[in-house]
């Protein structure tokens, strides 16, 4: 863009005058999958100040950002479901807890009921489809501040950083349990549900490994009580 102050799209934007933007150059950044991430921008107070060499430089930087984004995904994301992985959960939790322990939250340990039967009857490809769908259903139950993690297999961790009210925990757990019912894939009606164990931090513990152990214990208690329910540690 040779002159942002004269372009009909940008001329009335407050930032154009506030930042004294004359010429503007923007190159899109994409994930390796082709999904748009953002735009790498360069601005100058002078007009018509960007040339073909500048475009090539920004394009190379854009490709570098794509590479970095892909590395970050490999480190922090589960390759099958796209949810966060155990490594990310452990590193994130250190940031969630405040030094004075004033931040309270909830961890839910979700394990599918009947998943082994799906793998045994229909094969692991069907199992992978189920796990991807579980991740999708979980995400629909979460807000932007909540975190979903796949530990491995059919085990998932849900971290609710600001949930400290028991009634709210029960409502959320019931919402998730309901979302894990009613399965028909490729005309196959599957018998699946979920069992959830709930633990509260820092009341139960301030250590993520201990909290996961407690939530796991509560989850197995839910399975012992008939499955398709939740239990507190």
Nearest to 157 by CA among 126, 102, 198: 198
Q: Are 197 and 108 in contact (CB under 8 A)?
A: yes
φ and ψ at 174, to 5 degrees? -65, -40
What Å distances lie between residue 65 and 11, 24, 50, 59, CA to CA? 29, 20, 21, 10
List helix spans (H) across the chain.
14-18, 52-76, 86-96, 115-122, 124-140, 166-179, 208-224
Q: Are 173 and 108 in contact (CB under 8 A)?
A: yes
On the CB side of 222, CA atoms within 13 Å amount to 29
Q: For 86-141, give the secondary structure using H, E and C.
A: HHHHHHHHHHHCCCCCCCCEEEEEEEEECHHHHHHHHCHHHHHHHHHHHHHHHHHC
Q: Which of 111, 154, 204, 216 is catalytic?
A: 154
Q: Are 86 and 149 in contact (CB under 8 A)?
A: yes
> Is there a catalytic annotation at residue 216?
no
Taking every pair of Cα atoms in the chain, the longest distance, rounded to a whole number of angstroms, is: 71
Active site residues: 154
């Amino acid at each position: 863009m040779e002159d942002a102050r004269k372009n009909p799209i940008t001329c009335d934007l407050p930032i154009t005058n506030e930042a004294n933007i004359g010429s503007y150059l923007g190159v899109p950044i994409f994930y390796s999958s082709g999904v748009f991430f953002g735009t790498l921008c360069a601005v100058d107070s002078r007009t018509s100040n960007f040339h073909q060499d500048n475009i090539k430089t920004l394009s190379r930087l854009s490709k570098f950002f794509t590479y970095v984004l892909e590395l970050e995904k490999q480190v922090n994301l589960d390759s099958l479901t796209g949810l966060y992985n155990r490594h990310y959960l452990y590193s994130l939790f250190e940031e969630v807890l405040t030094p004075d322990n004033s931040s309270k939250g909830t961890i839910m340990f979700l394990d599918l009921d009947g998943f082994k039967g799906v793998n045994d009857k229909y094969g692991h490809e069907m199992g992978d489809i189920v796990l991807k769908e579980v991740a999708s259903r979980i995400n629909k139950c979460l807000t932007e501040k909540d975190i979903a993690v796949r530990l491995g297999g059919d085990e998932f961790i849900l971290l609710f950083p600001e949930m400290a009210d028991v009634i709210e925990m029960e409502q959320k757990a019931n919402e998730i349990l309901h979302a894990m019912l009613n399965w028909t894939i490729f005309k196959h009606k599957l018998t699946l549900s979920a069992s959830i164990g709930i633990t509260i931090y820092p009341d139960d513990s301030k250590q993520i490994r201990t909290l996961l152990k407690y939530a796991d214990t509560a989850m197995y208690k839910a399975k012992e009580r008939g499955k398709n329910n939740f239990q507190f540690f």
